[in-house]
Structure 1
Amino acid sequence: MELINQAHMSLDAAEKVDLLQRVKEIVLERTPNLGRSIPEYKALVDAIVPFSNERNVAVAKFVLQFIEDIMEPAKNPQIKTPTILALTRHALFEACSSVLTINAGPSSIRKALRVLDKFIPGTIYHIWAQPLDTYDPQVWDFLVRTIHVMRQTLHQFQDAEAVLWTVRILESCALHFSHAFDSVYRDPARSNVQPDAVHLGTIASNHAFVRVDVVNDLSLSIVQSLVDRL
């Protein structure tokens, strides 16, 4: 945490990246099985996410890559723990939303969108079909917030590639949030392929915190945003 605090206080972007790189090496490369407690892990990701508010492209992209790396079981074995997975997903959506909201440069935005495209489908399936952790409602809320951010920024982006990535993700979400059947997705916390299609029928009628009618309305609003962009 001392290195992270130094990075927060530094006014030099290159120094921030260097300090964060050292943190990443400690977390993922030198001691990947630290056996960090849940509070310690939460403190770590909570301290990393604010760097996504940096307007410096190098810092923003490094933070996104850092979070993407700790989502990988091969690099972060703890990600197979439900609470660790939920905390990391929450950090991922919060960081990506920040990058999109502050418009931290085209390459940062494209990076955030690629990360979202990679992890949104598996998160949707997990939350709908098998929520395992008390943090999952917060993950779902932040995922929905991220979708709303993409709906808004779709009309602001001037970079053609960013627009295409945003459209791709929103189209995918609109499809998942309908009764249409889509393809198979892999849960990043597991090694096996999940065979279930991701659609509204995946949501159990007695789901603790996801309502089918609300998700269906969100699908319609996404479609309307896509139509308005044409």
Structure 2
Amino acid sequence: MYYRIKPLKIKTKKAVGYNIKSLDSLYVIKDYYLKNNKPQFEGYSEDKEGEYLVGNAKWYNENNILLDSRDFNYKENTKSKFAFPKWPILYIDYKIATKSQFIGGIELCLDCENKNKLFLGLGFGVTSYNDTNYGLPDLHLSYNTAKFLFVKGGISDKHAYGLAGMTVLNLLDLGFGYSQPFNNNKIPVIKGFTFGATFRFSSNQKAYTQIRIM
């Protein structure tokens, strides 16, 4: 968790070293870790929420070690905030419908610059049916909002499923939904109302929902 001091405005040239015709000033964005007051983020933005960054931005871990440094060009930034993800996310997934399913794999955060996150995952797991274990591939897409809600859809070679529920800072997703098999006569049959829990592990802090204290 981190907090943000109230952003102040300074002249654009002083912030980034050059003038921008349509942008006279920028907000100075500074975030600090709550546990030790060390910097988490430093940068400049068109808006005080820090959504549209301009110039050099830096991210740090809790030991004040630089994790990432990136230059945001003003013209490119106003067109799109999307950047191809750098870090894969490890995930562990448990679901239960007619049978329990244990799955692990990796996710890519497709839109980590926004408050709402979009995760694309690919994994493999197992399920047991009639005392026999079966491999279970997994491909899913999960949309996690900053309001601690998520909706998720996915498929294996045996079934398709949909879930919705609550997320705890994107570290843990808990949801209910439904699973539909592709073939009711081909085992394993995964069908019915489904409970799911997903755990995420990543060094990319932007994959998680951050609690901000102004």
Q: TM-score, normalised by structure 1?
A: 0.26
Larger helix proportion of the pair: 1
Larger strand proportion of the pair: 2
Q: Which has the larger radius of gyration?
A: 2
